[in-house]
């Protein structure tokens, strides 16, 4: 056998799994890792990408596979994986062991890090952060300056936006919206067509569902179940 079999295997893997090549244009990640501007070597019709189109920045330890694409000044590095028809664009960063897949889109100045997963047709945008072991999937939207962290899960057609924070083991799903400076934490669940906003807090094992509205500086905790309106001092 001639040649280096490991090198041959590496080249084969790149050809099968990557539709881009690394260019000489580089940046440095937060961890000091080199990340390289990519260039398409195949058309990716689902992303409207043509051969020769320049993309974002990817490290050689990260994976961008399938019809996924990284564009603009977006950065994917560490052991992050972007796959399927997913797109990371704008100035977004995906790093650590994060995984963006399906038809998900991460864009704007959003950060997805840790072991977080963004999938299905979910969108993460603005200056939002999805971190830890958090999951965002379905048609969910996380945007603005919102944070989803810990083991939290946002799914269905749920929206988390503004300066809202969903964390711990909290779940927001269905058509629920969490916005403003609201916080949903612990093992709380917000679902249905519920709305939590203002500086309201939902924690413990609380459930907010149906067409409930929790707003102002209201606090719902413990094993409380809310199906109607609960308000604290109305925010200006």
Domains and CATH numbers, the chain: 60-231 (2.160.10.10)
pLDDT of residue 64 exceeding 90: yes
| pTM for this predicted structure | 0.89
Burial (CB count <10 Å: 0-12, 13-18, 19+), residue 236:
exposed
> Residues 186, 171: contact at Cβ < 8 Å?
no
* Residue 154 pLDDT: 98
- Specify the pLDDT at position 182: 98
Residue 9 confidence (pLDDT) above 70? no
pLDDT digits (tens, 9 = 90+) for 161-170: 999 999 999 9
User: pLDDT exceeding 90 applies to what percent of the chain?
Assistant: 80
Q: Average model confidence (pLDDT) for the chain?
A: 90
Give the pair of three-digit tokens for residue 146: 């919102």
Question: How much is the pLDDT for 37?
Answer: 96
Mean pLDDT computed over 115-131: 98
pLDDT at 11: 37
Quickly list DSSP for 149-207. -TT-EE-TT-EE-TT-EE-TT-EE-TT-EE-TT-EE-TT-EE-TT-EE-TT-EE-TT-E
Question: Where residue 215 falls among pLDDT bands split at 50, 70, 90?
Answer: very high
Average pLDDT of the segment spanning 119-131: 98
Residue 126 pLDDT greater than 70, yes or no: yes
Spatial distance between the Cα atoms of 218 and 148, rounded to a whole number of angstroms: 21
180-212 confidence digits (pLDDT tens): 999 999 999 999 999 999 999 999 999 999 999
SS3 category, 12: helix
Question: Cα separation of 84 and 90, whole Å?
Answer: 19
What is the rounded average pLDDT of the residues 49-72?
93
C-alpha dihedral sign at 17, 19, 23, 26: negative
pLDDT at 46: 87
Average pLDDT over residues 135-163: 98
pLDDT at 17: 53
DSSP string, 51-93: TT-EEEEE-TTSEE-TT-EE-TT-EE-TT-EE-TT-EE-TT-E
Residues 6 or more apart whose Cβ sits within 8 Å of residue 6: none
Per DSSP bridges, beta strands 195-196 and 207-208 are unpaired
Handedness of CA 20, 23, 27, 28 (dihedral sign): positive
């Amino acid at each position: 056998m001639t040649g280096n079999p490991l090198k041959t295997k590496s080249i084969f893997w790149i050809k099968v799994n990557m539709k881009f090549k690394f260019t000489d244009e580089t940046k440095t990640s937060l961890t000091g890792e080199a990340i390289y501007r990519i260039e398409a070597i195949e058309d990716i019709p689902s992303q409207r990408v043509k051969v020769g189109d320049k993309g974002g920045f990817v490290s050689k330890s990260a994976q961008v596979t399938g019809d996924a694409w990284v564009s603009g000044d977006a950065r994917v590095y560490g052991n992050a994986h972007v796959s399927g028809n997913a797109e990371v664009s704008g100035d977004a960063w995906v790093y650590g062991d994060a995984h963006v897949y399906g038809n998900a889109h991460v864009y704007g100045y959003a950060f997805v890090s840790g072991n977080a997963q963004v999938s299905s047709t979910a969108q993460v945008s603005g200056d939002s952060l999805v971190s830890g072991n958090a999951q965002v999937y379905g048609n969910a939207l996380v945007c603005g300056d919102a944070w989803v962290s810990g083991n939290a899960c946002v799914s269905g057609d749920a929206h988390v936006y503004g300066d809202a924070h969903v964390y711990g083991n909290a779940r927001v799903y269905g058509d629920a919206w969490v916005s403003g400076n609201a916080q949903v934490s612990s093992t709380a669940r917000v679902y249905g067509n519920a709305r939590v906003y203002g500086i309201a807090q939902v924690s413990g094992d609380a459930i907010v569902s149906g067409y409930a509205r929790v707003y102002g500086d209201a606090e719902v905790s413990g094993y409380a179940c809310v199906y109607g309106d609960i308000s604290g001092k109305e925010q200006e």
